[in-house]
Structure 1
Amino acid sequence: MAYSPISEELKYGPLKNRRCTDVLICLVFTAFLICFFSVGIAGFAQGNPDLILYPHDSSGNLCGRPDTVTSSYKYIYYPTPTDDTDYKVCVKSCPTDSSDVKCHPNTWVTSCSFEIRNSDNSTSKVDPYVSDEYLKRYCMPDKSAADDLDEDFNKVIDAVYEDSLRGWASDIYRCWTAILIVLALAIGFSVLYLVLLRYCIGLMIWLVILACIGLLILFAAYMDYEADNTYSGDNHEKTRKALRICAIFGYIMIGVFIFLLLFMIRRINLAIAVMKSGAIFMKDVWWIIIVPIIVFLAGFAFYIYWVLALVYIYSSGKLEDKDSYEKFSHMSWNDSTRNSFLFEFIGVLWINSFKIALSQFVIASAVCFWYFSDSRLSLTHHILSRSAYNAFRYHLGSLAFGSLLLAIIKFIKWYFIFLKEKVHKEGLDKNCCVKFLCGCVGCYVACFERFIKYIDKHAYIQVALSGDNFCKAAKNAFEITLENAARFAALGSIGDIFTFIGKFFITTLSSYFGFLIITHCSIYSDHIQSPIPATLVFIIVSYSVSGLFVGVYEMSCDTIIQVFLVDEKIHKGSPQFAPEPLKDFMHEHRNKEHKPCCGFF
């Protein structure tokens, strides 16, 4: 296979004389954003959230909605909570006895003495029960009134009146200083983990490899021991044979593992050097961590807007005042409103994918500038602004292109999940062929999504380095990956292992120390009901911080290996700008053959 030549313009770093790439996709994305926000603004102008915020009675009247006949009847009351909760009526206040009920009768609850109309048009009367206000909207039976209710509804009432949620919120509020301590601990442990990766990653990797070999040896030896001792009798012949087969399989796996290890030693050492270099980058350009933070905050603000826009668009329909007995009043939409809602709902997939693409590009671009810098210690914060400038000035179209591909596959995945649920509800998945087909399609879609994510990420690295359009960058990235498959496989597998270890290490230690603080310090333990809610917050906070650091570190390693391979190829096997760990790696292996005899690894 012929690979594309690498431009000599990259000899001294990322391309300086750039041009706009994927302009057509950029225009499409710009038009999409204009339409997306225009639809949301139109929804804000036409929508009325009151239609979904106010509770409905059995006839569709909105309880407490201003400028309506029910404006003074703010609460919803269920006359028959044990039999049918679809009977609902708007009341001025929650009834405390049978003589003080002010309500707005409707088609199905015809009077304030709670005469109800049945589905066969007959009427019956029910006695009111003592109730309390809940969530400033609902009248629920109080504890004394609930004694006569059936078992199932009593469970609901107990859940409603359970004060645990309020207690949990109170516990979390009282532990807010401990949450800040855990946040600081998570940051500290993240930095410590990066230091360990910088100086001890080689030892850690080889210990993991030796542990895997040791476990395989123990497994095979144990199977042999059990076959020769525990199941040595004639009446255990089948079991003994099965154990022998397991032992033989274990020995074969040991042989294959060691055989592959002998051919992969150089690639493993390269992965170690790359991971050490990634840790150095995080130390030199520590402010890179603000990139995902800014993207996260911007994304959070966007999601608030998006949810509000969906609410307003949904409420821009017309509430049908039906004289029929149904659980909910219906919102009728015209085709324009329905399409607007679907457009906003689906369009967020593209924007979310673009948000990820932008973050990956800026990090990759910063790594490229760092790698080719003559004096890495003198780097300034300008490399982030230069990276962001390149993204918005030249490569917005390329990022939009890659994110569009990912958004399309995500839409296909979610649509398939919807179809799968529909098939399940219809009972069609009981058919073996249908079940097998659903499983296969789901597997193919998931694999293709992972493939697109991988191609996208490495294409963004190439765009940051060479300034090419998305398709050419993706092609070059794919060729580099294919040409150095074993190197990427070693880095990918080792990186995944230590990404998991890092997140687990940071999250567990930070959360555990937080738990010790709130259970052993009287300023916390004397004022909280349970350590569980605060500990859950500790886990969420520490996991988020670990994901932030480890995610940036992972992207930096992926970028470093690509840039290193380009540097190596341009300079005929002698990379000129490699960080110290990679230089040590090249010096150690300079006199060794570039490839093993088989030529594959």
Structure 2
Amino acid sequence: MGHKIVQDLSNSWPYIVGALVVAMLLCLIYIFLMRWFAGFMVWLSLFSVVGLLSYCCYASYMKYDELGRAGGDSDSASSSSNSNSGILNQVQQEVDHILHMKYTWLVFLLISAVLLGIVLVVMLFLRNRIRIAVALIKEASKAVASIMSTLVFPLFLWVMQLLVTGWFLLVLLYLASSTHPVYKAAMDNCTCHTLSGTYEAGDRCDPDTFSICLASCPTAVCHFYGSEKEKYVNYLHAYNAFGIFWLMFFISAIGEMILASTFATWYWTFNKSNVPFFTILISTARIFRAVLCCLRCFFWCLEKFIKFISKNAYIMCAIYGKNFCRSARDAFNLLMRNVVRVFVLDKVTDFLLLLGKLAITAGICALSFHVFTHELEYKDYVNIPSLNYSIVPVVIIGVGTFFIATVFFGVYSMAVDTLFLCFLEDCERNDGSAEKPYFMSKELMKILHKKNK
């Protein structure tokens, strides 16, 4: 089975790469469309989910009723399998057997109905919160469109993470080859006595000193048996694993702080046309200066650093340039003063962005499945390879697509979180007077019944 999977991957890798490129382009198109049609796309996603869950309820009920009338718990799809059949075939037969049970579809019906009810309740009772979330997504779209370099910025993080991964693999290979050879004696019914000990068949030996045994055992041979790793290698493997995780999260944290600083600069610039052209480079320099300040007091604030580490602390640090612990405290106090609004809006915006990621992933997976199973008609010059297990490249494409969508939508997520904290701070700091005007957009002021005098 492993050989067949490798063969499938070797035949289909160009299509996998092509599908991931298409996924990246779809993410970019989706983000650009959000710039002008954020409200429409969000509500379309919500109603699409309602329609999909409604169809799942209908289809599950019809299947449950059909199997109930036909006796769906019979042995029409026996789970017995030939002992010589492959693992995947056995799994397929078990799945077929489960899908021919009427109570399976009853469970699907209940799950779909519960999810549909939750979505409808959210849409009914949180309409105003959804409106604010849509407005925040629109603001994030404006910020991203105003600073287009933020869409290219994830590529820089990818390169850094690839370098760290390459270093990890290089160290891993060196540690894996950190072994010493093992030699064992082979002799026919004789024992060799030397100053360093007695050798019998199967004992470890040293080829440099084993020649003395040839006098008493002429057919004796000290041959290479294998390699044995050094005792300290396991500890170095653990250290190497800790290193890659620490560096990966460090790079991710640096990226989040740079994006937070960039979007905060956009928000707190009253006239958006005055946003600096090299905002992301200025933010990068600002963040590295903040990192140096953190490193100066790292040892005494390590405990607080671990306790209060969070995305919101990065945002406050990027806005005000204060030290990390104070930023964490300020972010915590600000969020606690608006705990209900924070919880609802945070979950709503996360849910709305998740819908976009799932829509792109599901679309690419569905298209890939139809391509690899030859359910679509092709021209003669399109040669789709015949695979043993067509599900393998589909799964790889799905995972890769979701990862790509997560990276691109991560920019949006960071923009929304940053602008939301700026929005809360704007509400507390300003009152709409000529001396303290609101920095929020007119749409947000309209939703919250606020205005600048």
Deviation digits for residues 241-262 of structure 1, max 9, x if unmatched? xxxxx9xxx9xx99xx69x976
Partner of 2:416: 557
- Gaps of at least 5 residues in structure 2 are 62-109, 186-201, 205-224
Q: 1:468 corresponds to which letter in structure 2? A: K
Q: How far apart in 1 are the matches of 2:43 and 2:338? A: 21
Correspondent of 2:333 among 479, 491, 505: 479
Amino acid at match of 2:320: S
Asked if residue 571 in structure 1 is aligned to residue 452 in structure 2, the reply is no
| Distance in 2, Cα, partners of 1:294 & 1:371 | 24
Answer yes or no: is 1:521 the counterpart of 2:419.
Answer: no
The correspondence of residues 195-234 of structure 1 with structure 2, limited to 5 A, is 195-201=36-42
Query: What's the counterpart of residue 276 of structure 1?
Result: 138
The alpha-carbon deviation at position 293 of structure 1 amounts to: 2.0
Alignment of 1:112-191 (within 5 A): 159=1, 162-173=3-14, 177=18, 180-191=21-32
Residue of structure 2 equivalent to 1:419:
none
> Aligned equivalents of 2:131 and 2:15: distance in 1?
49
* Corresponding position of 1:493: 347
Q: Distance in 1 between matches of 2:381 and 2:16?
A: 7
Residue pair 1:319, 1:329 contacting (<8 A) in 2 also: yes
SS in 1 for 2:331: helix
Matches within 5 A, 1:92-103: none
CA–CA distance in 2 between the matches of 1:310 and 1:204? 44
Q: Does 1:293 align with 2:155?
A: yes
Give 1:486 deviation, angstroms.
1.2
Residues in 1 aligned to 2:158 and 2:168: alpha-carbon distance in whole angstroms = 15
Structure 1 position 373, deviation (Å): 2.2
What do residues 255-297 of structure 1 show as CA deviations (whole Å, max 9, x unaligned)?
xx69x976x6654543332222122222222320222221122
Normalising to structure 1: TM-score of the pair?
0.49
Structure 1 residues 190, 275: closer, same or farther in 2, change over 3 A? Answer: closer
Structure 1 residue aligned with 2:357: 503
**Where does residue 199 of structure 2 map in the other structure?**
none
Match of 2:209 in 1: none
CA distance in 1, matches of 2:146, 2:281: 16
Indicate the RMSD between aligned Cα atoms, in angstroms. Answer: 4.4
Answering whether residue 213 of structure 2 is matched by residue 351 of structure 1, we say: no
Shift of residue 461 of structure 1? 0.2
User: Are the equivalent residues in 1 in contact too, given 2:257–2:314 (CA < 8 A)?
Assistant: yes
State which of 327, 332, 344 in structure 1 corresponds to 2:230.
332
Task: Count residues with an aligned counterpart.
Answer: 348
**Whole-angstrom distance in 2 between the partners of 1:469 and 1:362:** 15
Structure 1 residue matching 2:439: 3-state secondary structure? coil
Indicate how the Cα distance of structure 1 residues 332 and 180 shifts in structure 2: closer, same or farther if over 3 A, else same. closer
Per-residue deviation, 1:301:
1.5
Aligned-residue offset at 1:354: 0.8
CA–CA separation in structure 2 for the residues paired with 1:404 and 1:385: 28
1:17-416 alignment runs, 5 A limit? 159=1, 162-173=3-14, 177=18, 180-192=21-33, 195-201=36-42, 267-321=129-183, 329-333=227-231, 339-377=235-273, 379=275, 381-398=277-294
For residues 541 and 378 of structure 1, the distance between their equivalents in structure 2, rounded to whole angstroms, comes to: 38
Tell me the secondary structure at the aligned position of residue 522 of structure 1. Answer: coil
**Which runs of 5 or more structure 1 residues have no equivalent in the other structure?**
1-158, 223-245, 409-450, 592-601
Report if the CA contact (8 A) 1:274-1:561 is conserved: yes
* Matched AA of 2:228: H
Q: In structure 2, how many angstroms separate the alpha carbons of the residues matched to 1:178 and 1:265?
A: 36
Task: Tell me the CA shift for residue 521 of structure 1.
Answer: 2.8
Give the drift of 1:558. 0.6
**CA shift at 1:557, angstroms?**
0.6
Q: Deviations over 1:501-541 (max 9, x none)?
A: 11111112234345556743336753411354554454244
Q: Distance in 1 between matches of 2:179 and 2:304?
A: 32
User: Residues 483, 552 of structure 1: CA spacing in aligned structure 2 closer, same or farther, 3 A cutoff?
Assistant: same
Q: State how far apart, in whole Å, the 2-side matches of 1:407 and 1:166 are.
A: 48
- Measured in 2, the distance between the counterparts of 1:186 and 1:556 equals 16
Cα gap change, 1:261/1:298 in structure 2, threshold over 3 Å: closer, same or farther?
same
Report the 3-state secondary structure (helix = DSSP H, G, I; strand = E; otherwise coil) of the residue aligned with 1:330: strand
Q: Is the 8 A contact 2:432 2:451 kept in 1?
A: no
What displacement does 1:187 show? 3.0
Q: Give the direction of change, closer, same or farther, for the CA distance of 1:581–1:545 in structure 2 (3 Å limit).
A: farther
**Equivalent residues of 1:462, 1:477 under 8 A apart:** yes
Write the deviation string for residues 435-484 of structure 1: whole angstroms up to 9, x where unpaired.
xxxxxxxxxxxxxxxx96xx510000000001111110000000011000
Query: Does structure 2 conserve the Cα–Cα contact (< 8 Å) formed by 1:368 and 1:559?
Result: yes
Q: Which amino acid aligns with 1:506?
A: I
Query: SS where residue 373 of structure 1 aligns?
Result: coil
Measured in 2, the distance between the counterparts of 1:560 and 1:498 equals 16
CA distance in 1, matches of 2:402, 2:49: 26
Instruction: Assess if the C-alpha contact under 8 Å between 1:267 and 1:490 holds in 2.
Output: yes
Q: Is the 8 A contact 2:317 2:323 kept in 1?
A: yes
Distance 2:180 2:158 in 1: 36
| TM-score, with structure 2 as normaliser | 0.63
Contact 2:264 2:319 in 1 (8 A): yes
Distance 1:325 1:293, change over 3 A: farther
Letter in 2 for 1:286: M
- Contact between 2:290 and 2:323, CA under 8 Å: does it hold in 1? no
What CA distance in whole angstroms lies between the structure 2 residues aligned with 1:483 and 1:407? 22
Q: Which secondary structure does the structure 2 equivalent of 1:578 belong to? A: coil
